Amino acid sequence: MSLSSSLLSPHTPRRLLRPLLLPLRLSSSFPSPAASPLAMPPRRDHGKQPQQKWKPKAAPPPAAEEFAGGVKKMTLAPKAAAAPAAQVWVPRGYATSASPSSSSSVAAEQGGASDKLSSIFNGAKDFSVDNNTFTEAKIRATFYPKFENEKSDQETRTRMIEMVSHGLATMEVTLKHSGSLFMYAGHYGGAYAKNSYGNIYTAVGVFVLGRLFREAWGKKAPIMQAEFNDFLEKNRISISMELVTAVLGDHGQRPKDDYAVITAVTELGHGKPKFFSTPEVIAFCRKWRLPTNHVWLFSTRKSATSFFAAYDALCEEGTATPVCKALDEIADISVPGSKDHVMVQGEILEGLVARVVSRESSVQMEEILRNFPQPSLDGCNSDIGPSLRDICAANRSDEKQQIKALLENVGSSMCPDLCDWFGNSGIEAQSRNADRSVVTHFLQAHPTDYATKKLQEMIRLMKQRHFPAAFKCYWDFQKVDSLSNDNLYYKMAIHVHSDSVFKRYQQEMRRNQGLWPLYRGFFVDINLFKANNKKAAELSKDSNTLLKNIDGSLDSSSSTKDDLADEDSNLMVKLKFLTYKIRTFLIRNGLSTLFKDGPSAYRTYYLRQMKIWGTSPSKQKELSKMLDEWAVYIRRKYGNKQLLSSTYLSEAEPFLEQYAKRSPANQALIGAAGNLVQTENFLAILEAHRDEEGDLQPERGTSPSSPTSTSLDVVSKTEGLIVFFPGIPGCAKSALCKEILNTPGGLGDNRPLHSLMGDLIKGRYWQKVADERKKKPFRITLADKNAPNEEVWRQIEDMCGTTKAAAVPVIPDSEGTETNPFSLDALAVFMFRVLQRVNHPGNLDKASPNPGYVLLMFYNLYDGKRRRDFESELYERFGSLVKMPLLKPDRAPLPGDVKSILDEGISLFRLHQSRHGRAEPSKGSYAKEWAQWEKRLRGVLLGNADYLSSIQVPFDVAVKEVLEQLKAVAKGDIKTPDTAKRRFGNIVFAAVTVPQADILGLLRELGKNDSDVNTFLNGIKVEDNLSKAHVTLAHKRAHGVAAVASYGVYQNQEVPVSFNAFLYTDKMAALEAQLGTINGEKVNSRNDWPHVTLWTAPGVAAKEANTLPELVSAGQAKRVPIDPPITISGVLDFY
């Protein structure tokens, strides 16, 4: 039973208790008032509650003594060993007297324990699963699932605003601190990084967390640390935080201080994890005096739309101070973080995270802020011992030395023993890796409870689908006292290797509503054990009864989250700032390209990144100049020796600082620079090529935070072009390549064409393509081979960089399915075409023994990609996309026997792949079934030959359309396909645009009635010079971001504009305007004098038109009234 529901009657409907959930959770979850000066809200039921007290563990040192000597005992350098015995780490279970005689006894005892453990570890390899083998799994630490929105960023924004507008949700926005994920479940629960534990990352995390307690609690820190550990372990809670330090490698900016911010609190319980709401997280943190993030809540349509407009206005120049200031002005509720980003991190802000939460969040937040004021920090002015940087600087020999020094200095209240880092009982930590068979045994054993069954289901599915993920198992050294040959304890780390797995897993969750989410930072405790016959029978009976009772009700009862539908509860957008991306993506992640392939390839890399982000043309131009200069500077300084990514800011920050000083424009481009924190003397010692966060390489295959640009892609005639085919055998690529080669004039320019057919090339095809392109990089290469996956696409991208070429994918046009970019109709046609072939160079024709299997294998390579995602990713990578017509739109439905034979083949393929992987169908246990299916497939397809022929677009028509599209790509005339996302520009001002034709009509009428006006208008040739007409409402520079963003609620809506006067001098002219209403709300301009500027003389800025009323008053300008006023409808938008 969860903490939040432990006091609730089991007979009370949960939905009726929702308003009570927060106060009950808080009153039952946190330590008693006696342990803290902060009292909790009174219980609303006025019932008596058993007082929760922290009970000290056996024989600890007195708290006062421990703190009094704790800081004094802290050391920078490791202590000299007094005796050999002192080198042995003694776990609690074996602690004895320190006398010489007892030391010998300890050594002997440890030696025996070590031998015993070694015997168990070695014997575990022979552990076998039988009917008496059971397993229990408990989630030990986890972070939020990584949800990938099925909608584009713009669709997600729109849906979020709609939900807020209709009172269905509140939008929550938090700062994205630039650090590493760290999770903590108490000392015995464990400390974890995103994908690992027991290393320098987790040691740094434990030290920083322990130091935060010392800052917060002062002399009471040891007591509170021990109580906090005890509380987390007793209640099975883990906390997640963003760990921001200068010792674990460079991100966007080296922090001024080492700190952490709590981002999630997870109630693990004995089932599916439950995450605290943000108000509950803040209450939890304030009770324990832990740092919280800055949070903004937007509960109205106006505030929600204003937020997105504010981001669009700041996305290319935003830093922490203006971003926080703008959001403070816009948000309905602003809760400042307990760590000021500018003070501890700096001005460079990674981004913002916006998500929808319960509509009650605002009310809950206000209640929490009333009941839990920001606590004071008792130790901030005290000596709390050496800092993280001091300790790392004093311990430079190796990673183990740094880990040991950090954990010794954090104190025994926070970290009583070090077995997770250094092993136990003489068994080294290197021996903690368990045999790979553990996962197999876990999946085969009987589950003892519901949680275990669900975790088995998740892992089994991921392995069956061959998702790129590792299930790494380690011996659990915290459980050494309980280990035996028939009772084994492990920790499992679920490490997802590709972000695409999360999207594919979400699709599986839509098909199977009972699946548990796939979490980020996912660690599970596993117990494998054998029971005697009697106990096994009891366990089996109890387990089956439990699973039967729970299976149909538990997940269905929790199918919604905070009263939001599943799809909506996961709506989230991550919005990053260009000032951060300059440093991380363009400079740091471009280092390998710059040093390996040279400045030209680096330029191709950074231009592509900016195109993906939709960077405005002006910023692209400024950045190109700066990055080209950076490339020359760093190559000249380092030659061919690549600058390390982990310390790149040592060179980049001084360069950026000097560049920013040259002009205000440069300063705005860079955002902030200077005051570099030097890390060379205290950087943590990491294993080679290890990066816990995995962000030191360019992001590939993931959707950008900002959508793609709609600008045209022009292929220079001095560059080459690679035409490639992400398709399936039978998609007619070879026939198409022949037609292109035989087309007079090629693609409309003088670049030579050549084709490389994959079936005729021995060895590594794409390496051959690269070699041929290096010989003649300016020609057009037709890569006549299927290019089905991201690995091939990366190779093509690399070729583009190294041979100065563009690339264009040609794909068969198909509707696709929910899980595949190609429909079953398309698959049937491809198979039918292959069965028509004779003497195919690759031996995939009617004479092949298993053509159906081969095509299913290719079809499966695209599994998990929706058509829209498939096209979007290709366009984002390569900037263009050509579609080859395949099926007639008015075709009859696929015949039932064709659909059935394909469905049967897909099911058989999955069975075969699950058991035999990539083995040939004739070599597996389904050989007989494959032979029968291949025979029936031929019969069904040939029996429907007329249908399959009739639904295809004629080949000559398809070739003609493809040629036209390819020529457009070569000329630069191709437009963004429908799959591209809307580009959000860098907003500068808000305005109402009125039709140019209507303004000219108004002026003509005005000229007819006033000869002086007519003469003036003819003189300035207004009809030739007026290109646009708008009434400016607010400008970012003059009125601030929040002022501009406030018009977001009216975006794209019509506004009546009344013109009541014409003002002019010999240097400028304008129409005086009065804005009307939208849905009954008056639209006001922040300008003192709303107007449309019609003309200014050469050398006169448009903003000078604002002075016309003053010039009229001074007799230096004329004002011609328009009576009655003329009203024209305009549209409000951002520019």
Q: Which two tokens stand for residue 977?
A: 């396909």
The number of angstroms, rounded, from the C-alpha of 343 to the middle of its chain's C-alpha atoms is 26
What single-letter amino acid sits at 326? A
What stretches of 172-300 show up as alpha helix (H) in DSSP?
200-217, 221-234, 278-288
What stretches of 295-436 show up as alpha helix (H) in DSSP?
301-314, 320-330, 341-344, 361-371, 388-394, 399-410, 419-422
Q: Which two tokens stand for residue 457?
A: 């289901």
Q: Which two tokens stand for residue 12?
A: 């009370």
String of DSSP letters for 974-1007? PPPPTTSPPP-----EEEEE--HHHHHHHHHHHH
Asked if 282 and 335 count as a contact pair (C-beta separation under 8 A), the reply is: yes
> What's the rounded Cα separation, in Å, for the pair 568 and 345?
33
639-646, long-range: CB < 8 A, 24+ apart: 640/595, 641/595, 642/591, 642/592, 642/595, 642/596, 643/591, 643/595, 645/249, 645/250, 645/588, 645/589, 645/591, 645/696, 646/249, 646/250, 646/683, 646/686, 646/691, 646/696
Q: Which two tokens stand for residue 339?
A: 């760590």
> What's the rounded Cα separation, in Å, for the pair 158 and 1048?
12
Tokens 């390549």 locate to 737
What single-letter amino acid sits at 545? T
Kindly list the distances between the CA atom of residue 1115 and the CA atoms of 833, 1013, 1093, in Å, as whole numbers in the listed order. 83, 17, 20
**Element of type H or E holding 942:** helix 927-943
Q: Which two tokens stand for residue 600?
A: 């030209």
Q: What are phi and psi of 18, to 5 degrees?
A: -55, -45
Nearest to 966 by CA among 822, 782, 729: 782
Helix (H, G, I), strand (E, B) or coil at 5: helix
- With vertex at residue 1099, the alpha carbon angle to CA 1096 and CA 1105, rounded to the nearest 5 degrees, is 35
User: What is the 3-state secondary structure of 502-544?
Assistant: HHHHHHHHHHCCCCCCCECCEEEEEEEEECCHHHHHHHHHHHH
Asked if 670 and 660 count as a contact pair (C-beta separation under 8 A), the reply is: yes
SS percent in the chain: helix, strand, coil, step 5: 45, 15, 35
Q: Which of 138, 146, 176, 619 is catalytic?
A: 176
- Residue 700, classified by CB atoms within 10 Å of its CB into exposed (0-12), middle (13-18) or buried (19+), is middle
Sort strands 1068-1075 and 1091-1096 into parallel, antiparallel or unpaired: antiparallel
Which DSSP category does 586 fall into? I
Q: Is the dihedral of CA 247, 249, 255, 258 positive or negative?
A: negative
Residues in CB range of 639: below 8 A, 6 or more apart: none
String of DSSP letters for 154-185? HHHHHHHHHHHHTTS-EEEEEEE-SSEEEEE-
> What's the rounded Cα separation, in Å, for the pair 351 and 126?
50
> What's the rounded Cα separation, in Å, for the pair 1128 and 559?
51
Instruction: Give the other-Cβ count within 10 Å of 896's Cβ.
Output: 8
- 1118 counts as catalytic: no
- Strand ranges (DSSP E) for 912-1036? 989-993, 1030-1035
- Give the strand order in the sheet containing 720-725: 753-757, 780-786, 720-725, 805-812, 882-884
List, by residue number, the catalytic residues.
Answer: 176
